[in-house]
Chains A and B, each alone.
Chain A
Amino acid sequence: DAGITQSPRYKITETGRQVTLMCHQTWSHSYMFWYRQDLGHGLRLIYYSAAADITDKGEVPDGYVVSRSKTENFPLTLESATRSQTSVYFCASRSRDRGRVNTEAFFGQGTRLTVV
């Protein structure tokens, strides 16, 4: 199915463990993003990517690592999970279309991560 999918939808992990959240989009969009949303707050940008092998830090990157070896995938890894990383994580993608000055971003359904 076309779209953007995140996996897993729910994850419980222990403090200190490494965990990877997956994001896959089928449109070959250039831009991809990871956001976190804490209870009662707006979304904060963790990392973003302009293309395969091009990534950069967002507002709250500490404790996270990303990679983008293929255009369609943008995994987010928590190297050593902490309780403060308990959150809902959203992945998004957006095309960079020279024919359209602006494009809409498409968001996944989110991964609810609990670190105990």
Chain B
Amino acid sequence: DAKTTQPTSMDCAEGRAANLPCNHSTISGNEYVYWYRQIHSQGPQYIIHGLKNNETNEMASLIITEDRKSSTLILPHATLRDTAVYYCIVSNAGGTSYGKLTFGQGTILTVHP
């Protein structure tokens, strides 16, 4: 799986958009970008994933650059409950990866009142 690079920590004001970047310059054509978050030592929670098109769901938006070497997770209106560690993961669809997800250090997002 391709390696990802994320900032160690970020701050965001409540109600504002939180934009979390991720670099994955060695991503290959069959690898997807996944985002998970972990709130205060709970089990990680899936947020969103994408291949090359931008994606949006009820939790967030995922913007992937045209060359797919980086992406941004957007939480449109951050709340205090969004304070968590956010993990960007690159992984292929299955096959020899057996669905494994390799976690890095992630970004600690702190949302301030």
Q: Which of B9-17, B40-48, B60-68, B70-78 contacts A (4 or more CB under 8 A)?
A: B40-48
Residues on A close to B: CB < 8 A? 30-31, 33, 35, 37, 41-45, 48, 50, 56, 58-59, 88, 90, 92, 94, 96, 101-110
Tell me whether A48 and B43 are in contact in the complex, defined as CB-CB below 8 angstroms, given that A96-B94, A101-B93, A104-B49 are known contacts.
Answer: no
Within 8 A of A (CB), among B76-113: 87, 93-94, 98-106
Q: Please list the 4 inter-chain residue pairs (A to B) with the smallest Cβ-Cβ separation, ordered nearest first.
A: A107-B43, A104-B46, A31-B99, A43-B103
A106 nearest in chain B by CB position: B46
Partner of B103, one of A42, A102, A103, A110: A42
B residues within 8 A CB of A50?
A: 98-99
Residues on B close to A: CB < 8 A? 32, 34, 36, 41-46, 49, 87, 93-94, 98-106
B residues within 8 A CB of A94?
A: 99
Question: Contact between A35 and B32 (Cβ–Cβ < 8 Å)?
Answer: no
A residues within 8 A CB of B104?
A: 42
A96 nearest in chain B by CB position: B94
Q: How far is the CB of A88 from chain B (nearest CB, A)?
A: 7
Question: Contact between B41 and A110 (Cβ–Cβ < 8 Å)?
Answer: yes
A112 nearest in chain B by CB position: B41
